[in-house]
Amino acid sequence: MMRYVLFSFFGLCLMLTSCIEIVDDITIKNDGTGTLKYTINLSSSKVKIGSILALDSLDGKRVPSLDEIKNKVSDFKLKLAAQPGITNVTLDPNWLDYIFKLQCDFTNVATLQKALKAVIEDISKDKTISEKEYDWLSWDGQKLIRSVPEISLQKSKTLKQEEIDLLKLGSYTSISRFERFVEKFDNPDAKLSQNKLNVMVKTNPYLLMQDPNLLENTIYLTTVKN
């Protein structure tokens, strides 16, 4: 989902190698409904972003204007809010520090995935997005399977050392929250909260570009409700 959301919020991110912090936070209730919170923080690179926005093109690619990016963000919110099974959509953009916070409620995980895919495909106008058939979430009432659509590794092979260092300074945090206790999980790098209701996995964007499987996790819940 990271590539989807980045592309939809601002195409600029696909042209920019920067220090980026992402928090992917999902809550799933016992009945399958839930809330998605997704935050992208580019505040550490706001000076660099401002410089790029002042250009007409970068590396042979046209740089979108700030107004175009704002319109795309607004369009994303409106289209997501119109999707069946999606409610209470908020998208809070901080254009001074380039921090973007998305939140929505969903009736079930399948509905959430279908809605996001539909909006991304509509906004991007790209009917050949390879990950559009990819399911990054699966919930059967007893376990949650989380993954990240494969990110192209081509760009990582051409990065300069200073660009690699910036990506390593960033972070990608995946949080899964539940209404009943977590029994176990497969990712050895995941951390269980003290109350046993939340699981967190954290890495950095550079490592994730090298190995998208770092955030993969299957989380098993107890059968007895708390």
Q: Quick one: pLDDT at residue 156?
A: 52
Structural domain includes residue 193: yes
197 located within any domain: yes
**Segments in the chain forming alpha helices (H):** 2-9, 46-53, 66-81, 109-124, 161-169, 205-210
Query: For residue range 26-67, what is the model confidence (pLDDT) as tens digits?
Result: 999 999 999 999 998 888 888 888 888 888 887 777 888 888
Residue 226 included in any domain: no
Q: Please tell me the predicted confidence (pLDDT) of residue 165.
A: 76
Q: Is the dihedral of CA 69, 107, 35, 150 positive or negative?
A: negative
Contact call for residues 190 and 201 (beta carbons, < 8 A): yes
CA distance linking residue 143 with residue 188, whole number of Å: 17
Whether 132 maps to a domain, the answer reads: yes
Domain count of the fold of the chain: 1
Statement: residue 2 has pLDDT above 50: no
Provide the whole-model pTM: 0.85
Is 119 among the domain residues?
Answer: yes
Residue-wise pLDDT for 170-191, tens only, equals 888 999 999 999 999 999 999 9
Contact 96, 66 (CB under 8 A): no
pLDDT for residue 88 is more than 60: yes
The answer as to whether 89 is a domain residue is yes
Full domain range(s) for residue 170: 2-13+20-221
Domain-located, residue 153: yes
Q: Which token pair is 168?
A: 């390593």
Kindly report which listed range (149-153, 165-169, 217-221) carries the lowest average pLDDT score.
Answer: 149-153
Answer yes or no: is 138 within a domain. Answer: yes
